[in-house]
A and B are shown apart, each in its own frame.
Chain A
Amino acid sequence: MFDNIGQMVLLFWRTLGALPLAWRQRQKVFEQFFEIGNASLLMVCMLSFFIGGVLSLQTGPALVERGLPSAVGGIVGLAVARELAPVMMAILIAGRIGSAMAAEIGSMRVYQEIDALRTMNINPIHYLVLPRLVAIALALPMLVVLAILIGWFGGATVAEINHHMAIPFAVFFGDLRSMVELKDVANGVFKTFCFAIIIGTVSCHQGLATIGGPRGIGRSVTKAVVNSIILIVMFDYILTRLLLH
């Protein structure tokens, strides 16, 4: 996988260089943006509700037992905003959107559509990669803001209905607000932005590098998802370390 990291950086660099053309390609950016939203909004909502809920369930009773009920809101709030929502949503989107990008571009590669573009002097990076990368870099952070809110809501719901905790909604959110700062949410969203770029770059690169017919498309999709997830988790550590300062 790491043999083509250089190629991925190069692809990202070229796409960045083409960024001024994004306005011209805005129609395609919007199409991709709405496709991402359409494909993942419901999943994001469900997943983040249950992530917040299970976190509350795992930590809450233990904290209440030790006389720290006021820590529940803060712990759920911080964990969801800084870590769980960004990473889980990025992994979800890698599976849902990254795979689709690799498959679509890969099949265009295999069926010579990309060659056809090149014979018309249409740069595949401008035409295919740029709109996808811009769209995912815009959409994923927005989805994560939503995921954070719903995750908190899920945590609060469980904290209230679980009889080991029975922390009222308002108290949960009061505790949450005293511990979570806007900076925490911003850090989470910033990480997500980086993850979005990883997913977009890895998936488009895999798509463009597809060789060998329909089986090659399958291989590209798998690689796009697996490599995205590995890089997301690695960069999560690196970025978290940097953002702590």
Chain B
Amino acid sequence: MNSTDQKPYGVKLEVRGLRKSFASQEVLQGLDFTVQPGEIFVIMGPSGSGKSVLLKHLIGLEAPDAGEILVNGESIMTPEIAAKYRMALVFQSGALLNSLTVGENVGLYLTEHRLKPPAEIERIVREKLADVRLSEAIHKMPGELSGGMKKRAAIARALVIEPQLILYDEPTSELDPLSSVVIGQEIWNLNQNTRVTSLVVTHDRDLAFGVADRIAVMDGGQILTIGTPEAVKAFPDARVQTFLNADFKREPRFKNI
């Protein structure tokens, strides 16, 4: 059984009328969108707009108040159906297990479920860590890593699952521009090689416009627009434009002090 023989194929993801409130705050106010198999779908939006909450619903960590999530046309609200599909979430913080080494973290899914013999797991772990350029950190503890290295380790841990749907929560936050480009390339390469359906949540405009097949802009728990990068750039709504074009300008009075 060679893992490259059976390539994972991307699934179709549909979200219909998704609503969620925490206490009195309605964080998701009825979201509707469809991600096609093998697509890279990017969700952009300001901080606090409900992006991470949305991802938690998609991976089954939160249950919606209303609405549906369908994978390949099946509702994944029942755990049995959700278990049929391999889905992975790369957490915003990485969420590595602090008591395990990086290598153990990356191999955790395989060791806990006893899917492969130890030597094979070791080989896969090394391969996935090499994919994210983190080979030298295999025996380090997560506490010894920088924010960006944690994030790359978390991506490697997600890759081990050989997902059919991969969700990235802010994959390039905390990364320097060069590492961001590397991660962007990784997301794209992975998508090309495996046709994994990829959903990327980010503030990073370079990443979004660099990798996206389609982009959704979210604010205040609603989707403002969905479209190709060009269409979104040209979308006339003021909130979308301010968000996409926000730029740091130095005030003249700060100069020459």
Partner-B contacts on A (CB < 8 A) = 104, 107-108, 111-113, 115-122, 127
Minimum C-beta distance from B155 to chain A (A): 13
Residues in B whose Cβ lies below 8 Å from that of A115 = 56, 61, 91, 95
Minimum C-beta distance from A23 to chain B (A): 13
Task: Give the number of residues in B that approach A within 8 Å (Cβ atoms).
Answer: 20
Are A112's CB and B91's CB within 8 A?
A: yes
Closest 9 CB pairs of A and B: A116-B95, A112-B95, A120-B109, A119-B89, A122-B112, A119-B59, A113-B97, A115-B61, A112-B91
Are A119's CB and B83's CB within 8 A?
A: no
Are B112's CB and A112's CB within 8 A?
A: no
Minimum C-beta distance from B100 to chain A (A): 10
Bound complex: CA A120 to CA B162 (Å): 11
A-B contact list, 18 entries, CB within 8 Å: A108-B97, A112-B95, A113-B95, A113-B98, A115-B91, A116-B89, A116-B91, A116-B96, A119-B59, A119-B61, A119-B87, A119-B88, A119-B89, A120-B108, A120-B161, A121-B109, A121-B113, A122-B112
Residues in B whose Cβ lies below 8 Å from that of A118 = 60-61
- Given contacts A119-B59, A122-B112, A127-B112, are A112 and B93 in contact (CB under 8 A)? yes
Residues in B whose Cβ lies below 8 Å from that of A108 = 97-98
- Given contacts A118-B61, A119-B59, A120-B161, are A111 and B98 in contact (CB under 8 A)? yes
Bound complex: CA A122 to CA B61 (Å): 13
Are B161's CB and A116's CB within 8 A?
A: no
Bound complex: CA A107 to CA B97 (Å): 10
Bound complex: CA A119 to CA B94 (Å): 13
Bound complex: CA A121 to CA B109 (Å): 8
| B105, closest chain A residue (CB) | A116
| B154, closest chain A residue (CB) | A116
Are A121's CB and B95's CB within 8 A?
A: no
Residues in B whose Cβ lies below 8 Å from that of A121 = 83, 109, 113
Residues in A whose Cβ lies below 8 Å from that of B91 = 112, 115-116
Residues in B whose Cβ lies below 8 Å from that of A107 = 98
Are A111's CB and B93's CB within 8 A?
A: yes
Bound complex: CA A118 to CA B93 (Å): 16
| B108, closest chain A residue (CB) | A120
Bound complex: CA A143 to CA B103 (Å): 35
Bound complex: CA A107 to CA B56 (Å): 19
Bound complex: CA A117 to CA B97 (Å): 9
Bound complex: CA A113 to CA B94 (Å): 9
Are B95's CB and A120's CB within 8 A?
A: no
- Additional A-B contacts beyond A108-B98, A119-B60 (12; CB < 8 A): A104-B99, A111-B95, A112-B95, A115-B61, A116-B95, A116-B96, A116-B97, A120-B108, A120-B112, A121-B109, A122-B112, A122-B113
Bound complex: CA A115 to CA B83 (Å): 16
- Given contacts A111-B98, A113-B98, A115-B61, are A122 and B93 in contact (CB under 8 A)? no
Minimum C-beta distance from B23 to chain A (A): 13
Bound complex: CA A107 to CA B108 (Å): 19
Bound complex: CA A113 to CA B150 (Å): 13
| B92, closest chain A residue (CB) | A112
Minimum C-beta distance from B161 to chain A (A): 7
Interface residues of B in 75-121 (CB under 8 A from A): 83, 87-89, 91, 93, 95-99, 108-109, 112-113
Bound complex: CA A122 to CA B59 (Å): 13
Are A113's CB and B113's CB within 8 A?
A: no
Minimum C-beta distance from B128 to chain A (A): 14
| A122, closest chain B residue (CB) | B112
Minimum C-beta distance from A220 to chain B (A): 17
Bound complex: CA A242 to CA B65 (Å): 48
Bound complex: CA A46 to CA B83 (Å): 52
| B114, closest chain A residue (CB) | A24
Minimum C-beta distance from B139 to chain A (A): 18
| A116, closest chain B residue (CB) | B95
Minimum C-beta distance from A25 to chain B (A): 10
Residues in A whose Cβ lies below 8 Å from that of B99 = 104
Bound complex: CA A4 to CA B241 (Å): 49
Are B108's CB and A122's CB within 8 A?
A: yes
Residues in B whose Cβ lies below 8 Å from that of A112 = 91, 93, 95
Bound complex: CA A127 to CA B109 (Å): 12
Residues in A whose Cβ lies below 8 Å from that of B87 = 119
Bound complex: CA A120 to CA B111 (Å): 11
Bound complex: CA A127 to CA B97 (Å): 12
Minimum C-beta distance from B104 to chain A (A): 12
